[in-house]
Amino acid sequence: MGPRTRVVRADFGRFALPAAPHVLVGNLPFHRTTGMLRRILTAEHWTDAVLLVQWEVARRRAAVGGASMMTAQWWPWFEFGLDRRVPASAFRPRPDVDGGLVTITRRRDPLVPAAQRRAYADLVHGVFTGPGRGIEDILTRRLGRPGVVRRWLAEHGVQPAALPRRLTARQWAALHALAGSAQVRASGAARRSSGRTRRRR
């Protein structure tokens, strides 16, 4: 270690990260990975992260074979990548599973405004857990506009029977915009209907 290196023994969950641009590099305990990832993703100022996690977790975060709900919820603000597999034999003591290096880069130009993060996350959760067989059925049940949903799927190259985990980051961002516009239209229609009811009285 160099003369400017300072070793801090602390709980990462409570440690105050620097209030200046920095890079995170860490070997996350496999049994605490999800909680620590949430802490990292909600932290500010860092630009890039290189994290050693369980191999299957690294694959899910990098959307190999389809995105997890957690990855989809953070995609508009971060890019996830899979660097390499790290065999269990490289660890001491040796774990039961291999590790994987996952990279996370903060997007300079987010796909969704930060102020809409909660609404976007709720949308992703609702689509992932909502009833329906395939994305067309799920969205039609959620938005109630079959024609609009079919046009959106065609415009964005999404197969009607695709599962939510098959959507890309940009498709999720576009879906958020669609859901927002549908909500605005529904609110406007409700106000107009309410106005007509009051006039009849």
Per-residue pLDDT of the chain (201 residues; tens, 9 = 90+): 667 777 888 898 889 999 999 999 999 999 999 999 999 999 999 999 999 999 999 999 999 999 999 999 999 999 999 999 999 999 999 999 999 999 999 999 999 999 999 999 999 999 999 999 999 999 999 999 999 999 999 999 999 999 999 999 999 999 999 998 865 454 444 444 455 555 555
Q: What is the pLDDT of residue 71?
A: 97
Looking at the fold, whether 121 and 177 belong to one and the same domain comes out as yes
Domain-located, residue 100: yes
Q: How many domains in the chain?
A: 2
Domain-located, residue 3: no
- Comparing CA positions, the residue from 71, 83, 82, 80 lying closest to residue 167 is 71
Looking at the fold, whether 102 and 36 belong to one and the same domain comes out as yes
Q: What is the pLDDT of residue 122?
A: 96
Q: What is the pTM of this model?
A: 0.86
Helix (H, G, I), strand (E, B) or coil at 112: coil
**Which of 56, 83, 106 delimits the end of a domain?**
106
Look up tokens 């590790």; give the residue. Answer: 99
Q: What is the pLDDT of residue 125?
A: 97
Domain-located, residue 2: no
Q: What is the pLDDT of residue 186?
A: 46
Look up tokens 């899979």; give the residue. Answer: 82
Q: What is the pLDDT of residue 22?
A: 94
- Comparing CA positions, the residue from 34, 29, 35, 41 lying closest to residue 13 is 35
Burial class (CB in 10 A: 0-12, 13-18, 19+), 54: buried
Backbone angles phi, psi at 23, to 5 degrees: -115, 135
DSSP 1-20: --TT-------TTT----SS
Q: What is the pLDDT of residue 181?
A: 81
Looking at the fold, whether 81 and 118 belong to one and the same domain comes out as no
Domain-located, residue 1: no
Domain-located, residue 17: no
Looking at the fold, whether 155 and 184 belong to one and the same domain comes out as yes
Q: What is the pLDDT of residue 8?
A: 84
Domain-located, residue 7: no
Question: Cα dist. 131→4, 44, 142, 176, 183 in Å?
Answer: 55, 35, 9, 18, 19
Residue 155: partners with Cβ closer than 8 Å, 6 or more residues away: none
**Which of 85, 106, 127 delimits the end of a domain?**
106
**Which of 106, 138, 153 delimits the end of a domain?**
106
Q: What is the pLDDT of residue 84?
A: 97
Looking at the fold, whether 85 and 143 belong to one and the same domain comes out as no
Residue 194: partners with Cβ closer than 8 Å, 6 or more residues away: none
Range of the domain at 102: 22-106
